[in-house]
Structure 1
Amino acid sequence: MFRVASYNIRRGLGTDLRRNLHRNLAVLKEIDADVVAVQEADPVLGELFEHLPASAVAAESDYTPVTLGTARGDISWHGNVVLVRRTATILDVHRIALPSFEEQRGAAVVDLALGGRRLRVVAMHLGLLGRWRARQALALLERVETFATHLPTVMLGDLNEWHGGGACLAHFGRKHHVASPGRSFPSRLPLFALDKIVINPELRLVDAGVHDSALARKASDHLPVWASLSLAAPAAATP
């Protein structure tokens, strides 16, 4: 079993209107996930990892940021950052540009080996307009289906979907299980379940929830969401 998490950090700007990325890393330490999809991480999170000494990064987290951007060492793709345990092995990375109206949107796909298991992680942040969210979901699903290698897949992030019957959720739900861990926005008084975790049939949802701590309520306007996953049992052969 392994744990994934999604966290919109609002570029480190907390509900106290102070920017402090160290708090976001401390929240991730509370969650203790194996893989984290971070949204709204550009450009401040990149600066955090660039300017903090390696000893401080080691002291504050157990993660390695995956290089996602087109420039060498760039860990952000349209604000998405993927953090993985240092014990994980990165096998492949794909960048997906998504159609958008209000601002550039994208998704990052990371294939990795974790604890002897191969896993595909898709980190995403969809738009504010429902019609465009639907287009983005379709574009993402169509692109992932073109990959030559098929892997157990978890897609997670801030979907910005306010309505449980939204078209983007319907698109994801055709071939995947969409988990809504709970209300995660706004963090001080959570009313909306904007952050989702989507898994394909090769994975099984064991548990999921919203990480609601005093620090998380202060560190960002979103609370992180998490899920514990395991590989689904293979289907029994037909006699």
Structure 2
Amino acid sequence: MLTQKTLLTTFACCCVLIPSFANAQQNGEKEVPAQLRVLSYNIHHGEGTDGKLDLERIARVIKSVDPDLVALQEVDRVVPRSKQIDQPAELAKLTEMKVAFGANLPLQGGHYGNAILSRFPIAAHKNHLLPVIDSGEQRGVLLAEIEVPQLAEPLLFLATHFDHRGKDAERIASAKTINGLVSKFGDRCALLAGDLNDVHRSNAVAELQTNWTLANQTPLPTVPVDKPRQQIDFVLFRPAARWKVVEVKVLDEAVASDHLPILAVFEIKPASPPAK
């Protein structure tokens, strides 16, 4: 049986071994910086380079890097070519994440577009259709407001897929539209991810860079998957002062889709105090 003296001694030891958060702050200790793991992946409606439709394989690729946020392109919802599966809902189930879907095109009685997976609650989302030039395919940008615990306001997370044709007029117009859209939110923390169908030094990417910063300044090729030569899949951030890039890498998975997924890991920096 524990005596009163033993109980008092045990309590005193616990007080020594477990310092309070307030004491840690007084001693100048810093909290571990909050990190976000962001994946962009063009999934080719779940069809791999082996010709097989396999959403479980796509989900395994996603889960292999434990992302907090995922931007997906070329996603089908209840389309016969992909066995009429609600791909956004199925991937959310397989990855145990929240989901939002932006339909850009009607397809075979279903829809085709972009999707977002999130470990955190999705407070709101809206799909914005992008400009169409010279009878191109309707494209869009899906904007979601994500409730990230470390941020006072919801994070803006945008998932997009630009035009693939040789002339870049539509891609430039899409970049301008996205810049105009995000400018309405002031200096709110924002991330943009997707298949831009253009390269680092292109006019469309340069247009985005008037409002955004590329996560990687040196190209990391994402296509073609067997022998990657060009980076056309990107993650971007704004404002620059709120983010620190920890790592950017392309996943070595050349079967599940015709694009390699790209992962960016960020630290969220504290907001600067308002000027007096």
Q: If the length of structure 1 is used for normalisation, what is the TM-score?
A: 0.83
Aligned to 2:56: 22
2:157 corresponds, among 117, 121, 130, to: 121
Instruction: Show the 5 A alignment for 1:1-239.
Output: 1-43=35-77, 44=82, 47-49=85-87, 58=93, 60-68=94-102, 79-85=113-119, 88-101=120-133, 102-117=136-151, 118-129=154-165, 130-147=168-185, 150-162=187-199, 164-180=200-216, 182-201=220-239, 202-212=242-252, 216-235=253-272
Contact in 1 for aligned 2:98/2:121 (Cα 8 Å): no
Q: Number of aligned residue pairs: give it.
A: 223
Retained in 2: the 8 A contact 1:15–1:218?
A: yes
| Structure 1 residue identity aligned to 2:160 | M
The one-letter amino acid paired with 2:236 is V
Q: Which residue of 1 aligns with 2:20?
A: none
Amino acid at match of 2:191: V
Question: 1:73 maps to which residue?
Answer: none
Cα distance in 2, alignment partners of residues 96 and 168 from structure 1: 18
CA–CA separation in structure 1 for the residues paired with 2:150 and 2:272:
21
Closer, same or farther: CA 236–107 of 1 in aligned 2, 3 Å:
same
Partners of 1:82 and 1:45 in 2: how far apart? Answer: 21
Amino acid across the alignment from 1:209: K
Cα separation, partners in 2 of 1:111 and 1:237, compared to 1, 3 Å: closer
Please provide the CA RMSD for this pair.
2.7
TM-superposed deviation, 1:18: 1.2
Instruction: Give how far 1:19 is off.
Output: 1.4
> How far apart in 1 are the matches of 2:235 and 2:147?
20
**Aligned letter for 1:206?**
V
Partner of 2:107: none
Runs (4 or more) in structure 1 with deviation over 6 Å come to: 236-239
What amino acid is the match of 1:141? N
Q: Which amino acid aligns with 2:231?
A: A
Counterpart residue identity of residue 38, structure 1: L
* Counterparts of 2:265 and 2:175, CA distance in 1: 23
Structure 2: which amino acid aligns with 1:171? E
Cα displacement string for residues 21-71 of structure 1 (whole angstroms, at most 9, x for unaligned residues): 11101100112100100000123498245886xxx965x31212125459x
3-state secondary structure, aligned to 2:60? helix
The Cα of 1:186 is off from its aligned counterpart by 1.2
SS in 2 for 1:217: coil
Q: Which amino acid aligns with 1:197?
A: V
**Residue 123 of structure 1, CA deviation:** 0.3
SS at match of 1:219: coil
User: Distance between the aligned counterparts of 2:84 and 2:189, measured in 1?
Assistant: 28
Structure 2: how far apart are the matches of 1:119 and 1:230?
A: 13
State the TM-score, normalizing by the size of structure 2.
0.72
Distance between the aligned counterparts of 2:254 and 2:37, measured in 1? 21
Contact 2:101 2:142 (C-alpha < 8 Å) held by counterparts = no
Based on CA coordinates, which of the two structures has the bigger radius of gyration? 2
Q: Distance in 1 between matches of 2:36 and 2:58?
A: 21
Unpaired stretches in structure 1, ≥5 consecutive residues: 71-75
